Structure 1
């Protein structure tokens, strides 16, 4: 899952892949791979891929080719808190709470180009706008990113877009991190998200420019669930 020379780390999580997924998906499309993910977590990722594939055919094939974490290396430190919940699920409140605790928080900075590190700017662009080369180009660009850079800016907590959309990549380089999943009713989330900004990405891993506004509300709800 990582570049040659990367150190594999054991992962104690055996009950969940820590991402939003439909629990009734039983079809498995992915094989267990050598990575920081446990066998149970890979099964969960596989089920997630199958559930999204039912809505967006071809997604699972893209997912199974991903090198989660890009060219980054996993770390034993695990001091960063990862937010697995999409934006508009009280992530602003969580960010405010983190700052009250004295934590340095990276919270969605879309539309604020000044002062954003190139890594975050590139990941945000891939998430919202995709890639000129289509899904294949986006896949290659994501695999070429060093997701370990996300841990190098002194942040204690990473939240919202594009963290949630690339949670698996960030968890792959920081498998000891604590994870907070913020959530809300799916139909309510879709409505609120579109009211906030119609350019928002669909609720899925690595949407690569797939827009929430370009799909039916029912499909968006199923993807979120």
Structure 2
């Protein structure tokens, strides 16, 4: 069965053990732990060889402990039970269900949920830093922190060049708002909040983004896998936030923006079109997809809503290989805390 445009495939039986359910009623089909997964051209590979280059290969069934080759290359493979759980988790019609238990408790540090087969028109070895989270998770705060560390950064409506010290925004354009000119080719020509043109982006040489060091907020999440394919050495900063709190904020401030996870399944559903529970579950699941897409050494998780300033600065500075910032007294400055609405108003 196809989801969207063949980004995913559901099998009636686990491709490893042949069981219809494969004993994963409390979690999703998952490959054997501690496998070093990485992007390899249009799919994924492990150190075990090209026979494991399928996306979402079930390398070991947790019911029987058997291992084997996936026979469906370059598709998302999960058994019917797991896919049904995913549907129920994200599309549940039960208003009283809290954030999906699966989304909260299952360790999805694996590429077996929604990794599409993506090939890049061109690749760059530039170690681009990608924001793995949608907006309203602290991305504007992260932008100003990276700027303070001297990292050239693009955040949808702002762009900072660390070499020249120049900063541009889209607020002064006519008409004002929308993405900065540097990113316009990745969006539809509408206004004031144009959606990402995913179809056009797949036909564009994305390596033009090597002219910056970091891309966060929109369109980084929407084009996450395309960007990973174009920049094999990319690193990811995941800005975390309580899913329920995020859903409430995102739906109130940006109801037309994409719903996490669903965009990777080629389901175009704005965040305002789903329930708060669905939105929260989608964010929690999407974060686990991101965590499973790269080795741990190339992913940094920051929670600007819960972590103290020293923890945030220390982790971020080490990740981007910059010295800790200091104020005029030689002390560590406060970590920036600003959201998009304050930035526009200011």
* TM-score using structure 1 length: 0.63
1:37 paired residue among 38, 44, 64: 44
C-alpha separation in 2, matches of 1:113 and 1:178: 22
SS state at 1:164 partner = coil
Match among 51, 59, 76 for residue 46 of structure 1 = 76
Q: Which residue in the other structure is 1:87 paired with?
A: 135
The answer for the alignment partner of 1:119 in structure 2 is 185
The DSSP-based 3-state class of the residue aligned with 2:208 is helix
Aligned to 2:118: 68
SS of the residue corresponding to residue 222 of structure 2 reads helix
Paired residue for 2:281?
Answer: 222
Residue matched to 2:229: 172
Give the structure with the larger helix fraction: 1
In structure 2, the CA distance between the partners of 1:212 and 1:148, relative to structure 1 (3 Å rule), is: same
Determine which of 19, 25, 29 is the counterpart of 2:28: 25
**Alignment of 1:145 onto 2:204:** yes
- Deviation of the 1:101 alpha carbon: 1.2
Q: Give the secondary-structure state (helix, strand or coil) at the position aligned to 2:236.
A: strand
Q: Deviations over 1:160-219 (max 9, x none)?
A: 111012111101111111211111111111001112222222112456742111112222
Q: Which residue of 1 aligns with 2:242?
A: 185
8 A Cα contact 1:190 1:221, kept in partner: yes
* Number of matched pairs: 181
Instruction: Please tell me whether the aligned partners of residues 78 and 178 of structure 1 are also in contact (alpha carbons under 8 angstroms).
Output: no
More moved, 32-41 vs 186-195: 32-41
- Larger Rg over CA atoms: 2
For residue 220 of structure 1, report the CA deviation from its aligned partner. Answer: 1.5
SS at match of 2:130: strand
Structure 1 unmatched ranges of 5 or more: 1-22, 57-62, 132-137
Report which of the two has the higher share of strand: 2
Mind listing any 5+ residue stretches in structure 2 that lack a counterpart?
1-25, 32-38, 47-51, 58-74, 92-113, 158-169, 171-176, 285-346
Q: What does residue range 8-23 of structure 1 map to in structure 2 within 5 Å?
A: none
Q: Counterpart in 1 of 2:271? A: 212
In structure 2, relative to structure 1, the CA distance for the partners of 1:114 and 1:35 (3 Å cut) is: closer
What is the rounded CA distance, in whole Å, between the counterparts of 1:83 and 1:113 in structure 2? 16
Residues in 2 aligned to 1:123 and 1:37: alpha-carbon distance in whole angstroms: 34
**Quick one: higher RCO (CA 8 Å, sep 6+), 1 or 2?**
1
Give, in whole Å, the separation in 2 of the partners of 1:117 and 1:128: 11
Q: Tell me the C-alpha RMSD between the 2 structures.
A: 3.9
Contact 2:128 2:213 in 1 (8 A): yes
Partner of 2:305: none
State the alpha-carbon separation in 1 of the partners of residues 179 and 153 from structure 2.
17
TM-score, length-scaled by structure 2: 0.43
| Contact persistence 1:124–1:161 (CA under 8 A) | no
